[in-house]
A and B are shown apart, each in its own frame.
Chain A
Amino acid sequence: MVYEENTTDAVEMRHIISIILENEAGALSRVAGLFSARAYNIESLTVAPTDDPSLSRMTLVTSGTDEVVEQVCKQLNKLIDVVKLVNLTDDVHVERELILIKVQAENEQRDEVKRIVDIFHGQVIDMTDTTYIIEVTGDSEKIDAVLKALEHMTMLEVERSGQLGMCRGDKGMV
């Protein structure tokens, strides 16, 4: 049987994938190149060395039908630099993203921004006479909500870190 497109089992879902890979020159471009070469979606990607400096951890958010995401995972696993891969979506997990926003804040806006920041348990981490830089962490829904709350104000810069994710429970990834 072939894959049926446009049916209900072919819905595109968001997946968050955690990857441990060799911390080597070129490893990142192998992953990124795979996504462009095979026309897979990539929504966000973060990468940095782990406590073991020879390894990096990458968190990748992609979307696609189950079949496509299964292929994505298989192709990623095939990369020689990939040590371990877990599709966090299959498990109970936590997700965090950090956002920095430089927002115009003058006169009464200054209090309003402060109030919004408090509601989202964020912080003001820098200020000038006319602006604040605020920092908020949370899952992507919360980050989206912050942006929505500030929509009517003038945001001079917005920077999101991309998702980090980790499975709940007592097991480590490697």
Chain B
Amino acid sequence: MELTGAEIIIECLKAEDIDYVFGYPGGAVLHIYDAFYQQEEVQHILVRHEQGATHAADGYARSTGKPGVVLVTSGPGATNAVTGIATAYMDSIPMIVITGQVPSHLIGNDAFQEVDSVGITRPIVKHNFLIEDVKDIAMVFKKAFYVATTGRPGPVVIDIPKDITAEKTEFSYPSEINMRSYNPVVEVHTGQIKRAVDMMIGAERPMIYTGGGVILGNGSEQLRQMTRKLGFPITSTLMGLGAYPASDKQFVGMLGMHGTYEANMGMHHCDVLIAIGARFDDRVTGNLEKFCPGAKIIHVDVDPASISKNVKVDVPIVGEVVQVLEEFLAAIDKTKKTPNTAALKKWWNQIDEWRSQDCLKYDRDSEIIKPQFVLEKMFEITKGEAFVTSDVGQHQMFAAQYYGFDEPRRWINSGGLGTMGFGLPAAMGVQLAHPDDLVMCVTGEASIQMCIQELATCRQYDLPLKIINLNNRYMGMVRQWQEFFYEKRYAMSYMNALPDFVKLAESYGHVGIKVEKPADVVPALKEALSQKDRLVFLDFITDQEENVYPMIPAGAGLNEMILV
């Protein structure tokens, strides 16, 4: 039987087991929307802005490991999606974005709602396609899902002219795919595994440094086994939190600009650094000239281009994280070398001494609500089991520091691009994927306003999110930099004319609660959690000029932190 291009798109999504598509209609995609209307298997979630669609699909993908799917119209639909595509790209999130395009014969004519979507998105996608023939749709979808989800994952854009969605052809979905120009599967180099393990066992001051790659590659279990077997300290980037349990003694906390003292000092003084699925981002390394001066570096990554990009590596290992870690485990079991226990003991003593600095201490007796206090209580009350999304700013760092994640895919935030507006729509995607779980969005009064319209989407689909608004009346992170580096000239960082968030939440049909005193924090959190099927917006009026500590100022090394 012949199907229209639009129907074929739906069939492709079914074949890929897609349950949700996040989108927003418009002229160029009307045939596709019509096809959606006539079936029930793939559910379409109507957002209120295309940026929301991309972040929702992204949150869905981060929390499940499955690709998120977005559908937007041509022109402004596509351009509104750009921020979300770039956000996914920077954090290597598998996502398929279907953009409508003007009819084929109008392409290049500056037609109504025409933009060169393939051109605009080229630098922020893993790959993109312009479909030129209805017969190509099935193959392009197969390729798109394959490319998006294998190797180092990433977003893929499929641009489809309107006329092609109306044309008809026979449909059959390819069961296999072979692309001569794309071979994500790599053989792990056994010689390198041995070299790496010898180096690890010989280490006197080792440090394991893991990133988002461990989570994306589902290597958490193997990482735990290896870390416990070796008994080494382990730190994580912002993106890798949860891969190794935060509550475990071997975990020394997050590293980098707002990392813990023990993690950063441990990095600086280590003699063997084992980097796994992390990319030596500038927020992590600080000044490269001063980075890990005495360390031999082992680097495991699925993307060869990540290796030796910023930091010269001694033992590069390209491969899927699970496979490499399993080979590490086998090689550790086999090796006849014995670890230098005396040196390791000394190293742990040193680390414990750094730890005793208690670098995350803050004024727990404050009369004003401290943002750290809210996160700490939220962690206690939820037993660390919630899915937590965040926006970008101080609240993001506080969440990363004070909410200890014990499981992967629970901490959902925009690390690479640092996109304000991410938290709320991302939480929608997480909640849809995990309808029975607690999903919380930690945000600030500036960030939340960037995608606030999605409160309507939450109402429409009954998504009972818990929004934790740390309202300091400032773009806190901007203000902090202005305090430190611009002599407190707070240019444009004061949030004037704030809405009444309680009323705002209520007007969207949700519950809003304003919390002004430390004593009310716990009761408010409990109240919010007890409202299981309602979205509750908690507006915490927090200390206006609290700063995120510790902090490594720009240009400094990891051993040059500013402590409280």
Which residues does A use to contact B, with CB under 8 Å?
1-3, 21-22, 25-26, 29-30, 33, 37, 67, 70-71, 74-75, 77-78, 80-83
Cβ–Cβ < 8 Å partners of A21 in chain B: 181
Cβ–Cβ < 8 Å partners of A75 in chain B: 305
| CB pair B181 A25 closer than 8 Å | no
Contacting B182 at CB < 8 Å: which of A67, A70, A80?
Answer: A80
The 10 closest A-B pairs by CB, nearest first: A74-B305, A80-B127, A83-B181, A2-B288, A37-B123, A1-B312, A80-B182, A74-B304, A78-B305, A75-B305
Contact with A along B201-242 (1 / 0, CB 8 A): 000000000000000000000000000000000000000000
| CB pair A2 B289 closer than 8 Å | yes
Question: Could you show 24 A-B contacts with beta carbons less than 8 Å apart?
Answer: A1-B311, A1-B312, A2-B291, A2-B310, A2-B312, A21-B181, A22-B181, A25-B130, A26-B122, A29-B119, A29-B122, A30-B122, A33-B123, A37-B123, A67-B308, A67-B312, A70-B308, A71-B305, A71-B308, A71-B309, A74-B304, A77-B304, A80-B182, A83-B181
A3 with B181: in contact, given A26-B118, A71-B305 (CB under 8 Å)? no
B303 proximal to A (CB < 8 A): yes
Q: Which range contains the number of B residues in contact with the other chain? A: 20 to 34
Cβ–Cβ < 8 Å partners of B123 in chain A: 33, 37
B179 proximal to A (CB < 8 A): yes
Cβ–Cβ < 8 Å partners of A3 in chain B: 288, 312
Cβ–Cβ < 8 Å partners of B126 in chain A: 80
| CB pair A80 B305 closer than 8 Å | no
Contacting A80 at CB < 8 Å: which of B179, B293, B311?
Answer: B179
Cβ–Cβ < 8 Å partners of B427 in chain A: none
B105 proximal to A (CB < 8 A): no
Cβ–Cβ < 8 Å partners of A81 in chain B: 181
Which residues does B use to contact A, with CB under 8 Å?
118-119, 122-123, 126-128, 130, 147, 179-182, 288-289, 291, 293, 303-305, 308-312
Q: Least Cβ distance of A25 to chain B in Å?
A: 7
Q: How far is the CA of A80 from the CA of B179 in the complex (A)?
A: 9
Q: How far is the CA of A1 from the CA of B291 in the complex (A)?
A: 7
Q: How far is the CA of A107 from the CA of B293 in the complex (A)?
A: 70
Write the chain A residue with the least CB distance to B122: A33
Q: How far is the CA of A77 from the CA of B152 in the complex (A)?
A: 13
Q: How far is the CA of A77 from the CA of B181 in the complex (A)?
A: 9
Cβ–Cβ < 8 Å partners of B310 in chain A: 2
Q: How far is the CA of A80 from the CA of B183 in the complex (A)?
A: 9
Cβ–Cβ < 8 Å partners of A77 in chain B: 304-305
| CB pair A26 B130 closer than 8 Å | yes
Write the chain A residue with the least CB distance to B311: A2
Additional A-B contact list (11), CB under 8 Å, known A25-B130, A26-B128: A1-B311, A3-B288, A37-B123, A67-B308, A71-B305, A74-B304, A75-B305, A78-B303, A80-B182, A81-B181, A83-B180
Cβ–Cβ < 8 Å partners of B304 in chain A: 74, 77-78
Cβ–Cβ < 8 Å partners of A82 in chain B: 181
Q: How far is the CA of A78 from the CA of B309 in the complex (A)?
A: 14
Q: Least Cβ distance of B292 to chain A in Å?
A: 8
Write the chain A residue with the least CB distance to B287: A2
Write the chain B residue with the least CB distance to A80: B127
Q: How far is the CA of A77 from the CA of B304 in the complex (A)?
A: 9
Q: Least Cβ distance of A19 to chain B in Å?
A: 11
Q: How far is the CA of A80 from the CA of B311 in the complex (A)?
A: 25
Q: How far is the CA of A3 from the CA of B305 in the complex (A)?
A: 16
Cβ–Cβ < 8 Å partners of B147 in chain A: 80
Q: Least Cβ distance of B199 to chain A in Å?
A: 15
Q: Least Cβ distance of B25 to chain A in Å?
A: 27
Q: Least Cβ distance of A44 to chain B in Å?
A: 22
Cβ–Cβ < 8 Å partners of B309 in chain A: 71
Q: Least Cβ distance of A119 to chain B in Å?
A: 44
Q: Least Cβ distance of B390 to chain A in Å?
A: 28
Q: How far is the CA of A77 from the CA of B289 in the complex (A)?
A: 28
Q: How far is the CA of A74 from the CA of B302 in the complex (A)?
A: 12
Cβ–Cβ < 8 Å partners of A70 in chain B: 308
Cβ–Cβ < 8 Å partners of A25 in chain B: 130
Cβ–Cβ < 8 Å partners of B291 in chain A: 2
Residue of A3, A26, A75, A80 contacting most chain B CB atoms (<10 Å):
A80
Q: How far is the CA of A96 from the CA of B27 in the complex (A)?
A: 51
Q: How far is the CA of A30 from the CA of B126 in the complex (A)?
A: 11
Q: Least Cβ distance of B120 to chain A in Å?
A: 11
Cβ–Cβ < 8 Å partners of B293 in chain A: 1
Q: Least Cβ distance of A126 to chain B in Å?
A: 35
Residue of B130, B305, B308, B310 contacting most chain A CB atoms (<10 Å):
B305
Cβ–Cβ < 8 Å partners of B303 in chain A: 78
Q: How far is the CA of A3 from the CA of B311 in the complex (A)?
A: 7
Cβ–Cβ < 8 Å partners of A1 in chain B: 293, 311-312
Write the chain A residue with the least CB distance to B297: A1
Q: How far is the CA of A73 from the CA of B130 in the complex (A)?
A: 26
